[in-house]
Amino acid sequence: MTVSTSLAEPWASLPGRLRERGLRWTPQRRTVIEVLAETRGHITGAELIERCRRLDPAVVPSTVYRTLDVLEQLGVVRHGHGADGRQEFHVGSETDHGHLHCATCENQWEISDDEVQAIAAIFARRGFAVDASHVSIVGQCRACREKASRAFV
- Give 47-91 pLDDT, tens digit per residue: 999 999 999 999 999 999 999 999 989 888 888 777 777 788 888
58 and 115 assigned to the same domain: no
Q: 117 in a domain, yes or no?
A: yes
145 and 107 assigned to the same domain: yes
CATH code assigned at 62: 1.10.10.10
pLDDT greater than 90 at residue 35:
yes
| 80 sits in which H/E element | strand 77-81
Average pLDDT (97-110) is 87
Q: 55 in a domain, yes or no?
A: yes
What is the structure's pLDDT at 79? 84
Average pLDDT (28-54) is 92
Query: In what side-by-side order are the strands of the sheet with 136-139?
Result: 108-112, 97-102, 136-139
Q: How far is CA 122 from each of CA 37, 38, 83, 103, 118, rounded to the nearest angstrom?
A: 37, 37, 21, 24, 8
Average pLDDT (28-38) is 93
pLDDT greater than 50 at residue 139:
yes
Q: 4 in a domain, yes or no?
A: no
48 and 62 assigned to the same domain: yes
Range of the domain at 131: 97-151
Q: What predicted TM-score, i.e. pTM, was given to this entire model?
A: 0.70
63 and 123 assigned to the same domain: no
18 and 87 assigned to the same domain: yes
What is the structure's pLDDT at 95? 65
Output the average pLDDT for the chain.
86
What is the structure's pLDDT at 4? 47
The total domain count for the chain is 2
59 and 112 assigned to the same domain: no
pLDDT greater than 70 at residue 1:
no
Question: Which of 91, 114, 134 is the last residue before a domain boundary?
Answer: 91
